A and B are shown apart, each in its own frame.
Chain A
Amino acid sequence: MNTPANLKYAKSDEWFDPATGKVGITDYAQNQLSDIVFIEIFVEEGEAIAVGTAIASVESVKASSEIYAPASGKVSAVNKDLPNKPEVINTDPFGSAWMIQLEGATEGDVMDASAYEKHCEERSH
């Protein structure tokens, strides 16, 4: 399991990059979902969103999951390429599989990498 130290993590398995404002789902989450076949991003550029807003829906061959905003702020960019190649969520969850980018973001209840790793470990038992 990969958990980059520069990111912040929500309990519901989203990551937030304080440096860039980007949001995506974690390596743990993509692994739990298995092969991802579809993503629909609900929010649009310019929209102001609160922590916990459903920003996207991700579907794999066996499950479907809503993705929630780990921080509040104004959506400055939406990854429009992602719906055309949802499989990169499996291969590159922290890189090209970013979903939205926030501007003037305020973090919600997020953890650092080591706390998140512990959180994942607890659930796998």
Chain B
Amino acid sequence: MTYIPTSPKERDEMLKVIGVQALDDLFEDVPEKYRFPKLDLPPALTEMEALLQLSDVANANENVRGDLICFLGAGMYHHYIPSVVDHMLRRGEFYTAYTPYQPEISQGTLQAIFEYQSLMSALTGMDVSNASHYDGATATAEAVSLAYAQFRGKRKKVVMSPSLHPQYRAVVRTYAQGMGVETAGDNESDFGLSNEAFVHQVDENTCLVIVQYPDFFGRVYDYTQFIEACHAKGALVCIVANPTALAMFKTPADMGADIVVGDGQPLGIPMWFGGPSVGFFTTRKSYVHKMAGRLIGETVDNRGQRAYVLTLTAREQHIKRERATSNICTNQGLLALATAIYLSVLGKNGLKQVANLCYQKAHYAASELGKVAGYHVKFTEPFFHEFVLECPKPAAEVNAHLLEHGILGGYDLSQDYPSLTNHMLIAVTEMNSKEDIDALVDVLSEVNHG
């Protein structure tokens, strides 16, 4: 389709209709000196010069692929991404396509979303998955919208675990204030860092309880009894899950969760500069009519051939309008596809292997670091691939020293948890070799002595 702008003749006709002589007359209200101000810009560069300059800027970054050994996680993780993921993503049919507003003509896009949904349902154990959200934090906030709509606004409280990602909690608060929903539970000074102490906050006014699995500190809990206690008060429970960990541990569905969300970044998406990412959202069939976004289904056409259709979009704003569960139903189509490709390439056993490597290496790192004088692994609960390390000095100082040795240290927990001064959150993935971990141990021993 060629884009044809107006012809000079058509333009003149339009100007005549609105009663002006020339196009410039339309800009009369803008003072002449502001119409084309002299911009203080350097002279234009040739392509060759521009490329050189941009390369210089890009090379000033230190990346985790060659420059730095990475032990930073806290929601974004350094995993290996098979090259086929990028290769498939860059196909024009996927790369340039926008959301299918005339959906049935976009069978490839629909199939991609269908596969993604099927994989997410399998991973979480839940009945249905929508086509995705922006990231884990916004998917979590959408769980609040679902719960709020489920109780038709009659329950106005959301209880969050203190060990739910601090940034997720901040996003939930932003969404909740617009809905007139109060948040509770995550006050560290009242409930400490326990994963269950705040359960007493759950009452008959609570629409949703949100916990993380593994939690922000990497700890793995079986929430089964906790969920039963929440259900006894009539509240729904949302588990924010790390998808890699789900390959290894009991599924949130088996624990009785009503909604399972999370960030899909560990599944084939680079850490980039902290985003973009993709948020997955899964729930039980009984809540599907309150789920934001769209649902793709597989069916057969009038010739008996396999076909994909938009089975459920009623929650979207173009149908439900002001009564929609959510007005942010944009899905992260391309990145959802990345996770689907990643999962398909790895397969069930491949993902288990990744999870197992992360688990084993993280436990090796924790046990070695625990032996270094001045350092202490904070929690004793089972953990996945992250753990809290107490340091002899503020985490920022320790990290500065690590960076001098080419090591990106753990997340400084004192930023979010006043009681965790001198604590950092160390993430270990399959990308960390034994040598990397030993190097971390060596440099940290120096920090203690220095």
Contacts and interface: CB of A to CB of B under 8 A. Distances in A.
Top 3 A-B pairs, shortest CB-CB distance: A59-B314, A64-B320, A64-B319
Interface in B301-321: 314, 319-321
Q: Interface range on chain B: under 10, 10 to 19, 20 to 34, or 35 or more?
A: under 10
B319 A63 contact: yes
Nearest to A83: B289
Interface of A: 37-38, 40, 42, 57, 59, 62-64, 66
Does more than half of chain A's interface fall in helix, strand or loop, or is it mixed?
Answer: strand
Nearest to B320: A64
A42 B152 contact: yes
Contacts of A66: 323
18 contacts: A37-B314, A38-B289, A38-B314, A40-B289, A42-B152, A57-B323, A59-B289, A59-B314, A59-B319, A59-B320, A62-B319, A63-B319, A64-B314, A64-B319, A64-B320, A64-B321, A64-B323, A66-B323
A10 B177 CA distance: 37
Q: Which residue, of A37, A63, A64, has the highest number of chain B Cβ atoms within 10 A? A: A64
Interface of B: 152, 289, 314, 319-321, 323
A37 B311 CA distance: 10
A42 B289 CA distance: 14
Contacts of A64: 314, 319-321, 323
Contacts of A38: 289, 314
Contacts of B323: 57, 64, 66
B234 to A, nearest CB: 15
Contacts, number: 18
A37 B315 CA distance: 13
Contacts of B319: 59, 62-64
Contacts of B289: 38, 40, 59
A66 B320 CA distance: 10
Given A40-B289, A59-B289, A64-B320, 12 more contacts: A38-B289, A38-B314, A42-B152, A59-B319, A59-B320, A62-B319, A63-B319, A64-B314, A64-B319, A64-B321, A64-B323, A66-B323
Contacts of B321: 64
A38 B315 CA distance: 11
B242 to A, nearest CB: 33
A62 B314 CA distance: 8
A38 B319 CA distance: 13
A66 B152 CA distance: 14
A77 B314 CA distance: 27
A63 B319 CA distance: 6
Q: Which residue, of B152, B314, B319, B320, has the highest number of chain A Cβ atoms within 10 A? A: B314
A63 to B, nearest CB: 6
A38 B323 CA distance: 15
Contacts of A40: 289
A66 B314 CA distance: 13
A6 to B, nearest CB: 33
Nearest to B321: A64
Contacts of A63: 319
